[in-house]
Structure 1
Amino acid sequence: MKNITLALVFMITFSGLSQKSEKLTFNELKNEVIDFMVANKNMQLEMAEKYKSGEYNTFILTGSINQQKEGDLKDGLYQFAPLASHQQVYFVLVEKDNFEILDLSTRKQLDEAIIKVLDFCERKKFCYEISSSYTSVLIKFFYNRNKNPLNGYDVNCGDKKIGLQDLP
């Protein structure tokens, strides 16, 4: 009985050490976000297959701050979109080889995404500059691309009735 117990403990211990930890890669994440876009009817299945196969190479998945496009995925905020006119931009928050897609289609979703990003920044103990940069990029793309995709800019800024110099 003692030998069986020792053998089981030995097998459990060393089988745990030999397991490969799954590291999220750019390509895996790209395929996941393409599937997200298909599921949300923002991309046709035929086009998705061409992006996944590499036939089309205009799908953008990049770091939101440093524009990183390859190598190891780091914990942080990434943006993705097919390179096409009138397309919304989406974000994905990567943390410890897990990810969460942030859809900024509505103002409510923007508000929820900002809270998630700020919570992430606090967990990572980022300084205010990083937290501010991450939330600013969410706001920028929501107003410049997602809120009015046909215009491609914030229509509230178009007439410039009030500028920064007019504020206290």
Structure 2
Amino acid sequence: MTIHGDHPFLPPESERSPVRRFRGRLPSPVGLWTTAHEGKRAGLTVSSMLVADGDPGYVIGLIDPDSDLWETLHKARTAVVSLLGGPHQQLADAFGYVAPAPGGPFRMIDWTETEWGPAPVGVSTWAGCRLVSADPPEVGWALQVQLEIAHVELAAEELPVLVHRRGRYSTL
């Protein structure tokens, strides 16, 4: 077996999407979107997202229409959007389906059940949200999902925010 410094499934540079490579040069916060409906929990690591201030505020993210998250969020109509910190890289990879999580990623840490869905224990910043539209527009490969922010939790002590840029994590 040989261990490489590069990602083993990364296509050659000539075959990579220039738009994806352009987006990859932007530092993006690493969010974890979680929801639950009738006992089924679902979650997904989302870095293609932004927060729009206002009254109410909104979280807008690009979500895979074939993901378990979208299937469950579509039914539940509520979600928790958590901002991950430096210690949560393995959690981000597990919910991004790029790292193994025996028994599923929800077994990796403890969770607090909220009226918006499961919130990860140990994550200091999260928002409880409501789905704005059950029929969001398609944008490229994804659905442009808009969530209205109903509740925000901000801990006094914040961990450095985990960001994703060019396929790698760093903290701010």
Q: Tell me the TM-score normalised to structure 1 length.
A: 0.26
For the pair shown, the structure with the greater C-alpha radius of gyration is 1
